Amino acid sequence: MRGISKSFHGIPANQDISFSIESGEILGLLGENGAGKTTLMNILYGLYQPDAGEIRINDAPVRIHNPLESIALGIGMVHQHFMLIQNHSVLENIALSHKDTPFFFPTVKIREKLENFSASFDFNIDLTKKIWQLSAGEQQRVEIIKALLNGADLLILDEPTSVLTPQEIKELISILKEMKAKGHMVIFISHKLDEIMDICDRVLVLQKGKIAGSALTRDTDKISLARMMVGRDVVFNIQREKIDRGNQILSVEHLNVMGDKGLPVLKDISFEVFENEIFGVAGVSGNGQRELAEAVTGIRKAESGKIRINDRDITNTSPRHIYDQGVSHVPEERIRFGIAPGLFLYDNAILKQHHLKKFSKRYFLKYKDVKDHAKNLMDDFNVSAHSIHSQIRNLSGGNIQKLILGREISEKPQLLVASHPTYGLDVGATEFMRNHLLELRKTGSAVLLFSEDLEEIFELCDRIAVIFDGEFMAILDSGDRRLNDIGLMMAGSKRI
Ligand SMILES: Nc1ncnc2c1ncn2[C@@H]1O[C@H](COP(=O)(O)OP(=O)(O)OP(=O)(O)O)[C@@H](O)[C@H]1O
Ligand SMILES: [Mg+2]
């Protein structure tokens, strides 16, 4: 790509960007939230047209008007938010996107192709399963298969690991290394510096739409990359003061919950969360975390057991009723449940809160108050967007996340249920949000935090439950020496 520039409504997202990638290379793309990474890759994939600059493949200039053309040129992309059809099977999804799927008996032909193909790459996936039955890692493998089967020489992965479990990340890395060995090229976007250092040959750093620098991973380190990205030294400064916990806010007793597949996913879970406490649930994703968050916030039915907020029974009452008891929720799948993508930023700033007195009078929204609130949220949580009138789907991934967190935190909830609050955030924003969670704790809220990131769990939590296969293996105080065994407990091989 040479001299690429792109503006939206007169505001530059990419400015004069030039870089190249060669066969067998894995290039990392790094930059703060809103730096222009996704935009640049969308241009390469033909989703956007650049205002200036050109793309060359094998030294010949090409114009890419849409993804069909980029696929024909051997470019594939796995988006930050997956684009699979949930009610179709893996095979049907692959057939739908394949460039020469026949009109008659489409899946028969594709199955043949896939069988030849899986002889050369090792994807371990059941083709007959429906997409909704797959874990995030499996869905991502489907996206990668789609791209490779279309003959991608260059694969673009936009934050591929933020939704994966550590095991799935390992599997992804081995697929990428296999691709590299076969001469494919990969562009890999991530906020996790360890991963970039581990996977990539070279890194390109964007800052506010421009190239801030590039380096071979063997000649650089995490600290220099972070400095290049932010333009200053990044020092993680998170301090959890000792605070005595207050009254009990949440109590869960003998909770049993069924999963989407009609099998029990939570088995006899009991715990409490108190004021001034962050209670962490550590575990490999898919062990019941999502169902627990959904049961507490009223999205999923409890088969048996009791859930109480401030001693009031809220078991199987409506999400709205539970919200009115002071329970906020940062959901795991934020594009599906956390926002209304087609609405404006200011509408999204009060989602679920539109019935509150401060925002509505009789049946009408008080638009001035709503908009003021949205502006304050943007300022307080560094949400970078064109204006409060932007459609939320045009915000960068990390900025959507900041808006959701800001909205839920700013309500000063009695209980915040937060699933992976720092997914997709850059290093600076991660530190900022973790400090906000500690501030909530200090001012008397209770926080139920789900995370796979052990560093995050250890940094923030007063007590930590380890979940495996729908059961708590143990509930430990921070500082408990048995925390050394947390990895074993997460794998289910130890109960204390
Ligand atoms: N379709 C669009 N319309 C208007 N503005 C857009 C559009 N797409 C991107 N932008 C703006 O361009 C800027 C760069 O966004 P981009 O999504 O490329 O960032 P990013 O580096 O991928 O960030 P993140 O790490 O948060 O995903 C942002 O300010 C965003 O709001
Ligand atoms: Mg992005």
What's the 398 CA to ligand 2 centre distance in angstroms?
7
Looking at residue 350, what is its pLDDT?
Answer: 82
The tokens of 104 are what?
């008659």
Ligand 1 atom nearest to 191, measured from its CA: 25
Q: Which two tokens stand for residue 360?
A: 């509505």
C-alpha 88/C-alpha 68 separation (Å) is 22
Domain assignment of residue 114, yes or no? yes
254 and 151 inside one domain? no
Cα-only R_g, the chain: 23
Nearest to 277 by CA among 460, 86, 494, 133: 460
Same domain, 320 and 394: yes
Q: Which CATH number is 460's domain given?
A: 3.40.50.300
Residues 76 and 203 in one domain: yes
How many CA atoms does the CB half-sphere of 230 hold within 13 Å? 17
- Of all protein residues, the one whose alpha carbon is nearest to atom 17 of ligand 1 is 396
Residue 48: inside a domain, yes or no?
A: yes
Closest listed ligand to the CA of 37: 1
Which atom of ligand 1 lies at the shortest distance from residue 37's CA?
21
In 3D space, the residue among 427, 15, 28, 490 whose CA is nearest the CA of residue 280 turns out to be: 490
Residue identifier of the C-alpha nearest atom 19 of ligand 1? 34
Query: Which residue, 203, 230, 257, sits at the end of a domain?
Result: 230
| Boundary residue ending a domain (182, 202, 230) | 230
Q: How many domains does the chain have?
A: 2
Enumerate the β-bridge partners of residue 457: none
In this structure, the answer to whether residues 273 and 220 fall within a common structural domain is no
Domain that holds residue 60: 2-230
Same domain for 255 and 212: no
Same domain, 268 and 154: no
- Could you tell me the distance, in angstroms and rounded to a whole number, from the CA of residue 104 to the centre of ligand 1? 40
For residue 395, which atom of ligand 1 is closest to its CA? 31
Ligand 1 pocket mutation pick from 6, 8, 158 by most atoms within 8 angstroms of CB: 8
Is 219 found in the same domain as 363? no
Residue 495 within a domain:
no
CA of 393 to the centre of ligand 1 (A): 9
Assess if residue 496 is contained within a domain. Answer: no
Do 357 and 408 have their domain in common? yes
Q: One-letter amino acid identity for 267? A: K
Q: Are residues 170 and 298 in the same domain?
A: no
Spans in the chain with pLDDT lower than 50: none
**CB of 331 closer than 8 Å to CB of 419:** yes
Residue among 396, 399, 422 to mutate when testing ligand 1 (max atoms within 8 A of CB): 396
Residue 238 within a domain:
no
Spatial separation of the C-alpha atoms in residues 408 and 327, rounded to whole Å: 9
Position 50 scores a pLDDT of 97
Could you say which ligand is closest to the alpha carbon of residue 386?
Answer: 1
Task: Report which bound ligand comes closest to the CA of 31.
Answer: 1
Tell me the two tokens of residue 179.
């691709």
Nearest CA to ligand 1 atom 8: 394
State both tokens at 261: 């597949």
**Ligand 1 proximal residues by C-beta, below 6 Å:** 8, 13, 31, 33-39, 384-386, 394-399
What is the pLDDT, as a whole number, of residue 386?
85
Q: How far is the CA of 418 from the centre of ligand 2 (A)?
A: 21
Tell me the best of 39, 206, 425 to mutate to test the pocket of ligand 1, counting ligand atoms within 8 Å of each CB and taking the most.
Answer: 39
- Cα(233) to ligand 1 centroid in Å equals 24
Mark whether 163 and 296 lie in a shared domain. no
Nearest atom of ligand 1 to the alpha carbon of 400: 26
Please count the helices (runs of H) and the strands (runs of E) in the chain: 16, 22
Q: How far is the CA of 39 from the centre of ligand 1 (A)?
A: 6
- The beta-strand segments (E) located in 244-347 are 248-258, 264-274, 277-282, 304-309, 312-313, 327-330
Boundary (domain end) residue, out of 173, 198, 230 = 230
- Predicted confidence at residue 102, as pLDDT, reads 66
Expressed in angstroms and rounded, the spacing between residue 162 Cα and the centre of ligand 2 is 11
Q: Same domain for 469 and 343? A: yes
